[in-house]
Amino acid sequence: MFKKLFKIFGPIIFALLIIFLLLISPFNYGLKKVSNDDQKKAAVSLDHKIIKGKRIKEQALGQNDYVAFFGSSEWSRFDPMHPAVLAEKYNRNYRPFLLGAKGTQSLVHFLNMQTITNNLKNKKAVYSISPQWFVPKGIRKDAFNFYYSPLEATEWLLNESQTPKDQYIAKRFSQLLDPNSDHVLHQTFTRIENGKKPTKFQLLYIKMRHQLLLNEDRLFSSIYISNRNENKIKLCTKQLPPTYDYNKIYDLAGELGKQNTSNNRFGISDKFYRKQIAKKVKRFKGFQAKEKFTKSPEYADFQAVLETFAKNNTDVIFVLPPVNQQWQKYTGLSQQEIQNAVTKIKFQLKSQGFNHIVDLSNDGDIPFFMTDTIHLGWRGWLYFDSAVGPFLENHHRPPHYQLNNHFYDRKWQQATVDQIVNFK
């Protein structure tokens, strides 16, 4: 009988042992180093797996000249004036590590920052923040769940200490996260939200899960990194003049813009228009007339990002991109609403000492500023670069931030522009 039992269970016990050694152990299997080539690919891959991971981000930002560029879908609009192209071509002393894709907003970036806090400490960063994120419901549930990374979440949980920020974050996670993705973590969020510490069991679970995810990240994160965007960048650099000359590049941007926007009256690139809009252009007329950006939980999500920057003494530059104005008129999107959001965002930034702000939100009418409906391109990227580039090339000056926890309050999330004056 025992022989038979051993035949049945022996392989399982053996397999469990191997798995245990592989995943629970803190060894790094000599896999620690990510090659420079992989870092280069990863920095522009925009792959959600890179955003959700740790090792590659950590090493690129820690060992080399990469600077975290937080944002969303704009990063995928590569043309010769894209910040990654200009930095590469003119061999600047920094390279962007692009963190952001369609649907990433402040709450995702907050998570995103958890695995790289050491790399933000006393460093610089770029944060592109779109007023259109600030819709009444905030980040979409599906987008959040798509970009939610258990590795980053457990990393945060190991560092949280029931501050107002932590309670706020826990509340947001328990609202947005699909409970089925991990019941224990979901229950932990609910506890923290209610001001309680995680139970002993929960802490143990978090630690084990964190170690496991960490090892998973170590073992598998660099298995396949796409080089598609890296190749795009290489091609783009060839179109630029050999030495940096703002006026020449400005003219080139205009030329390229003109060549690529011939099939529509909105100044949208031909390919985008043909694929995304042409067939249903009528449906877009007036479809954004009712959009509002003044009241949104996104303001408090953004505050969690600001707090993380402040805690790490990060010198950040914020860029507020515009919307293509011809398109905006067609869809009925109110410039007033966008400006209300801009006013609130700027107040939130300035009143806490975040003074590097590049406000492009009124430049959507400059020809060839946008590559499509809401994304910077050609001249827009050049404007972006001429503000961000010098900021990054200069020496780090220690910032002085004064945080205000009231920015987590519902009162601020729901404040109108007129109420800002009274906000303390």
Partner 1 sequence: MIFFQPYENPFYFFILFIALLPIMISILHGKKIHIYESLISLFFLFLTFGGPSWKQGIALIIYTIYETCLTFGYLYYRKRKNNQLVFYFTIFLTILPLALVKIATAIHNQKLSLIGFLGISYLTFRVVQTVMETRDGVIKQLKLSQFLPFLLFFPTISSGPIDRYRRFIKDYEQVPKQDEYLEMIKKGIHYIFIGFLYKFILAYIFGTLLLPEVQAAALAQRHNFLGLSWSLLGVMYVYSADLFFDFAGYSLFAVGTSYIMGVKTPMNFNRPWQSLNIKDFWNRWHMSLSFWFRDYVYMRLLFMFMKKKTFKSRITAANITYILNMLLMGFWHGLTWYYIVYGLFHGFAIVINDAWLRFKKQHPNKLPHNRATKYLAIFLTAHVVCFSFLIFSGFLDKLWFIPK
- Rounded Cα–Cα distance for residues 250 and 111 (Å): 37
**243 sits near partner 1 (criterion: CB under 8 A):** no
Please say which residue, 52 or 123, places its beta carbon nearer to partner 1.
Answer: 52
Closest approach of partner 1 to the CB of residue 100, in Å: 17
Q: Which one, 80 or 138, has the nearer CB to partner 1?
A: 138
Under the binding rule (CB under 8 A), the answer on residue 13 touching partner 1 is no
- Touching partner 1, residues 116-155 (CB under 8 A): 146
Q: Which of 391, 398, 364, 412 is nearest to 69 (CA)?
A: 391
Among 184, 219, 387, 420, which residue interacts with partner 1 (rule: CB under 8 A)?
Answer: 184
Q: Which of 20, 27, 29, 201 binds partner 1 (CB under 8 A)?
A: 201
Rounded Cα–Cα distance for residues 238 and 85 (Å):
10
Other CB atoms within a 10 A radius of the CB of residue 247 amount to 7
Query: Does residue 264 bind partner 1 (CB under 8 A)?
Result: no
Phi, psi (degrees; rounded to nearest 5) at 265: -95, 5
Among 9, 20, 27, 246, binds partner 1 (CB under 8 A): 9
Smallest distance from partner 1 to CB 283, Å = 8
| Shortest Cβ 13–partner 1 spacing (Å) | 11
> How many angstroms separate the CA atoms of 378 and 269, rounded?
11
23 part of the interface to partner 1, by CB under 8 A:
no
**Residue closest to 77 by CA, chosen among 100, 93, 95:** 100
Segment contacting partner 1 by CB under 8 A, of 56-64, 120-128, 183-191, 337-345:
183-191
Minimum Å gap between C-beta 275 and partner 1 is 9
4 binds partner 1, rule: CB under 8 A: yes
Of the residues 32, 200, 238, 280, which one makes contact with partner 1 according to CB under 8 A: 280
Residue 313: Cβ within 10 Å count: 15
Q: Which of 64, 187, 264, 326 binds partner 1 (CB under 8 A)?
A: 187
Stretch that binds partner 1, among 7-15, 86-94, 130-138, 219-227 (CB under 8 A): 7-15
- How many residues of this chain interact with partner 1, rule: CB under 8 A? 17
Nearest Cα to 420, choosing from 357, 361, 362, 339?
A: 339
Instruction: Check binding of 200 to partner 1 (CB under 8 A).
Output: no
- 236 Cβ contact partners less than 8 Å away, ≥ 6 residues apart: 78, 79, 80, 82, 85
- Single residue of 279, 282, 397, 424 touching partner 1 by CB under 8 A: 279
Q: 388 with 317: CB under 8 angstroms? A: yes
Given 91, 161, 180, 422, the residue binding partner 1 (CB under 8 A): 180
Could you give phi then psi for residue 97, rounded to 5 degrees?
-105, 105
Are β-strands 95-99 and 124-128 bridged in parallel, bridged antiparallel, or unpaired?
Answer: unpaired
Q: Is 140 helix (H, G, I), strand (E, B) or coil?
A: coil
Is 22 an interacting residue with respect to partner 1 (CB under 8 A)? no
- Nearest CB to partner 1, comparing residues 5 and 421: 5
Structure tokens at 232: 């795009």
Helices (H) and strands (E) in the chain, counts: 20, 5
Nearest to 323 by CA among 336, 313, 306, 338: 338
Which of 177-185, 265-273, 379-387, 404-412 is the region at the interface with partner 1 (rule: CB under 8 A)? 177-185
Task: Give the SS3 label for residue 68.
Answer: strand
Please report, as ranges, the residues that interact with partner 1 according to CB under 8 A: 1, 4-5, 7-9, 12, 146, 179-180, 183-184, 187, 201, 205, 279-280
